[in-house]
C-alpha cells in the first residue's frame, strides 16, 4: 500500500510541476491558450497572475517531493490537503475540470497514504 501511495503522490507532484510549466512558461503560447481556452488578449492580461499561480503549483510539487524524500506522513498529509483545497477552490471558481485533474488525484493520494500508515 505504501508503494501505491507514493506512486500516486509522485504522480500528483508531476502534475503540479506540469501546471507550473503551463502557467509560467506556456500561458501566452498557442499550447497554453488552447488548453485554457484563452484569447490573445485574455492571455496577455492574465499572464502575471498565471505565473504567480504556477509558482504556487511548484511549491505544492516541491512539498510533495519533500514528503516522499523524507517519508514523513505529516508532510504528505499537509501538502495533499493543500492540493485538495486548491483543487476544490479552482473547480468551484475557475473550471470544473480542476476537480478531476487536481482535487481527485490529491484525495486518492491522501486516502492511500492514510491506509498505508
Write the burial class of residue 36 (CB in 10 Å: 0-12 exposed, 13-18 middle, 19+ buried). Answer: middle
Q: What is the number of domains present in the chain?
A: 1
Q: List the grid coordinates of 70.
A: 523524507
- pLDDT number for residue 110: 98
- pLDDT number for residue 64: 98
- 10-25 confidence digits (pLDDT tens): 999 999 999 999 999 9
User: Torsions phi, psi of 26, nearest 5?
Assistant: -120, 10
- pLDDT number for residue 111: 97
- pLDDT number for residue 117: 86
Q: List the grid coordinates of 105.
A: 488525484
Structural domain of residue 66, as residue ranges?
A: 2-116
Stretches where the chain sits below pLDDT 70 are none
- pLDDT number for residue 48: 96
How far from 30 is each of 11, 16, 36, 38, 92, CA to CA, in Å?
25, 20, 10, 9, 26
What is the dihedral angle through the alpha carbons of 69, 70, 75, 80, rounded to the nearest 10 degrees?
A: 20
Radius of gyration of the chain (CA): 15
- pLDDT number for residue 77: 98
Amino acid at each position: 500500500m505504501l508503494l501505491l501511495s507514493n506512486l500516486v503522490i509522485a504522480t500528483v507532484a508531476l502534475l503540479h510541476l506540469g501546471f507550473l510549466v503551463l502557467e509560467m512558461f506556456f500561458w501566452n503560447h498557442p499550447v497554453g491558450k488552447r488548453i485554457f481556452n484563452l484569447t490573445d488578449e485574455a492571455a496577455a492580461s492574465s499572464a502575471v497572475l498565471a505565473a504567480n499561480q504556477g509558482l504556487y503549483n511548484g511549491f505544492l510539487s516541491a512539498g510533495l517531493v519533500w514528503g516522499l524524500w523524507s517519508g514523513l506522513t505529516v508532510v504528505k498529509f499537509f501538502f495533499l490537503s493543500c492540493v485538495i483545497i486548491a483543487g476544490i477552490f479552482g473547480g468551484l471558481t475557475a473550471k470544473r475540470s480542476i476537480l478531476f485533474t487536481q482535487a481527485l488525484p490529491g484525495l486518492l493520494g491522501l486516502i492511500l497514504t492514510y491506509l498505508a500508515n
